[in-house]
Structure 1
Amino acid sequence: MTDLFPDPHRVPDAAALAQARAILEAARDAVLSVLDPQGWPMVSRIALQADAEGRPLAMLSDLALHTAALRADRRAALLLDAPAKEPGRGMSLTHARLSLQVEACPVPPAEDEALRRAWVAHDPKAAVYARLGDFRLWRMLPRGGLLNAGFGRAYRLTAADLAFGGHDERPGD
């Protein structure tokens, strides 16, 4: 039997991997998707940066529903938009974006202080919430994802494709 709908995703080349890395490096926020306690998906916008290994790092409030959901089920997804070349121009669906399937893991207390300092150094406005007692850092360990780099340029990414490493001046350096 012939597949009526062949997989439209390409195998990523060096340019696609560089674009995915650039989107992650530029990210300051993302859309987080989790499963609530009843198993229903829910989304919220969160603060995000990449750590020294290129993994997404989120700062989440213990009071947030998405944090409670992650404590119950660490499976999640992130959607990161590429920075607009010309803000306010064009439809958002024409901009590149990176979708990641992740496992969310709280950062161990021994790593928290250094990562938090690096986070605030990279985003000084974050000092307002980074010092609050209910905010915790979470590593979002990529399991796979998709890069939509524009019309007809979609790439399926593996965990190995997303192991960028070697960031400069990022949390965890």
Structure 2
Amino acid sequence: MTKDPIRTTTDGARDKARQMLAAMRHAVLAVNDAATGHPHLSKIACQIDPSGSPIALLSGLAVHSRALSADPRAALLVETQGGKGDPMTWPRLSLQVKAAMIDDAAGLRARWLEAHPKAAAFIDLPDFRFWRLAPQSGFLNAGFGAAFRLTPADLDIP
């Protein structure tokens, strides 16, 4: 019988995932591209809002924005880069998310520009919108032999 490689979720795993989200400035977004029927990946600027939910500022002209408008199911990959060693042993967090455009994003603008000052060049263009990427489930690979399944409650996200 093969032993299940997924460990019971611990407070340490929860803390690590929350720390990774808090430090996140970029992530890889995977969407379902209805135009091709294939997954589409994009590296995006991303950070958390005050509630801990991942937020992205996306152009409506981008493939990923059109795909999210058609199908809000997506995935987000967050990585922590180590200084040296094998990148496959560095922590990474995969989230299955449900995307929703944020209608009232007035409170997010200043917070976004603090973390992404170069976004000042495009944040007010008419096609840019904030999106909430609400986690539905997660998977933390915290290094060799340290894999954990996560729920939104594990991430303290309402």
TM over 0.5: yes
- Contact 1:12/1:155 (<8 A) preserved: yes
Find the counterpart in structure 2 of residue 90 from structure 1: 85
Give unpaired runs (5+ residues) of structure 1: 166-173
Q: Is 2:15 the counterpart of 1:7?
A: no
- Measure, in 2, the Cα distance between the counterparts of 1:132 and 1:5: 54
Q: Is 2:94 the counterpart of 1:106?
A: no
Match of 1:22 among 19, 24, 27: 19
Give unpaired runs (5+ residues) of structure 2: none
SS of 2:110 mapped into structure 1: helix
Q: Percent identity of the aligned residues?
A: 48
SS of 2:153 mapped into structure 1: coil
- Measure, in 1, the Cα distance between the counterparts of 2:128 and 2:45: 11
- Measure, in 2, the Cα distance between the counterparts of 1:102 and 1:127: 27
SS of 2:67 mapped into structure 1: helix
Q: Is 2:123 the counterpart of 1:130?
A: yes
- Measure, in 2, the Cα distance between the counterparts of 1:99 and 1:128: 30
How much has 1:79 moved relative to structure 2?
Answer: 0.2
Length-normalised TM-score, structure 1:
0.85
Find the counterpart in structure 1 of residue 153 from structure 2: 160
Find the counterpart in structure 2 of residue 169 from structure 1: none
Alignment of 1:33-52 (within 5 A): 33-37=30-34, 38-52=36-50
- Aligned residues between the structures: 157
SS of 2:122 mapped into structure 1: helix
More strand by share: 2
SS of 2:136 mapped into structure 1: strand
In the alignment, residue 43 of structure 2 is paired with which amino acid?
A: R
Q: Is 2:135 the counterpart of 1:145?
A: no
In the alignment, residue 22 of structure 1 is paired with which amino acid?
A: Q
- Contact 2:140/2:149 (<8 A) preserved: yes
SS of 1:46 mapped into structure 2: strand
Q: Is 2:62 the counterpart of 1:64?
A: yes
SS of 1:113 mapped into structure 2: coil
How much has 1:10 moved relative to structure 2?
Answer: 1.4
